[in-house]
Structure 1
Amino acid sequence: MIEKIRNWDERIVIYINQKIKRKSLDYFFVAATYMGSDVFAIGFILAFLFLPVSKINDFALYAAAALILSSITVGILKNTIRRKRPFETIIELKSLKIGVDQFSFPSGHTTAAFCLAVTSALVTNGHVASTAYLVLALLVALSRVYLGVHYPSDVVAGGVIGSFFALAVHLF
């Protein structure tokens, strides 16, 4: 099963890299990937802390708690599994090594993006802005694969982890 996932991951990364990758898209996906960065997430939360509406303060508190828990989980998984990044294992890959640490699985950027998106959807009870946040989270996930720094299974796992902790914090 793991071998099938690995083969699937490599085929998708190579396909995107050889068939979809364009210089014009590089700029777009570089910008998209930063929406999953620690700096973006912390700035986003801090901006909401200073607004007077209670729902927004709930969002900041829930998002911060979920981000801390999911970041710890991602760190433990990365250092336990120690999966190499696509640009380290696929020789022909043209990668833009942006926002990378040592290991690939799971995607921390995707985890943070989904943590914020799902938290906002839960706090706002599905307000239309929540759809925009979820679309942006999907763009972050896609950007990580497009840039050649993650496999699809890395971003799927990151999305699940971020969503799980957003939901868990909201429920408790």
Structure 2
Amino acid sequence: MIQKITEFDKAAVLYINNRLRTRVLDYFFIGATYLGSDVFALGVILGLFFFPGRNFNSFAAAAALSLFFTSITVGVVKFFVKRKRPFEKLINLNSIKIGVDQFSFPSGHTAAAFTLAATVALLTSNSLISIIYYTLATLVAMSRVYLGVHYPSDVAAGAVVGTSYAVVVHFMMLGSV
């Protein structure tokens, strides 16, 4: 099973890299990838924390706590798994190394983006806002593969980790209200 996932990961990254690359998409996905950065996530959280209104403060608190647990988990898993990034393993890969640390699995950018998206979805009744955040999170995930810094399984794992902590924190906070 692991071998099949690894083969799919390599084939997907090479296909995207060799067949779908354009200058316009390069710039688009460079911009999109920053939506999953810690700096962006912390900026959103701090901005909303100081915004007046209980809903914004609830979101900021839930997102901050979720992002904290997500970041720790991503760091620990990366330390133990030590998966090399696609640009280190694949020949003929034209990558754009934006926002990378040493290891690939799971994707921290994707985890952060899905943490924010899931937190929004859990705390708002506005489905349009939730769809927008999930669309942005998906673009972050796609950007990481497009740029050649992650495999599809890295971003899938990041999405699961980020979403999971948002759900856990949401229910923890409901229990403390």
Match of 1:110 in 2: 110
Match of 1:65 in 2: 65
Which residue identity is paired with 1:103? F
1:26-105 pair list within 5 angstroms: 26-105=26-105
Query: C-alpha offsets along residues 51-75 of structure 1, whole Å, 9 cap, x if unaligned?
Result: 1111111000000000000100000
Query: C-alpha offsets along residues 14-55 of structure 1, whole Å, 9 cap, x if unaligned?
Result: 000011011111000000000000100000100001111111
Cα distance between partner residues in 1 of 2:79 and 2:43: 26
Cα distance between partner residues in 1 of 2:52 and 2:95: 43
Please tell me the root mean square deviation across aligned C-alpha atoms, in Å: 0.6
Match of 1:158 in 2: 158
Poorly superposed stretches of 4+, deviation over 4 Å:
none
Secondary structure, counterpart of 1:106 in structure 2: coil
- Deviation of 1:126 (Å): 4.2
Deviation larger for 118-127 or 91-100: 118-127
Match of 2:149 in 1: 149
Gaps of 5+ in 2: 173-177
Secondary structure, counterpart of 1:83 in structure 2: coil
Secondary structure, counterpart of 2:148 in structure 1: coil
Secondary structure, counterpart of 2:99 in structure 1: coil
Gaps of 5+ in 1: none
Cα distance between partner residues in 1 of 2:15 and 2:112: 26
Secondary structure, counterpart of 1:170 in structure 2: helix
TM score, norm. by length of structure 2 = 0.96
Cα distance between partner residues in 2 of 1:35 and 1:87: 21
Which residue identity is paired with 2:25? L
Cα distance between partner residues in 2 of 1:8 and 1:102: 22
Match of 1:23 in 2: 23
Which residue identity is paired with 1:161? V
- Deviation of 1:127 (Å): 3.4
Cα distance between partner residues in 1 of 2:24 and 2:116: 28
TM score, norm. by length of structure 1 = 0.99
Percent same amino acid at aligned positions?
58
- Count the aligned residue pairs: 172
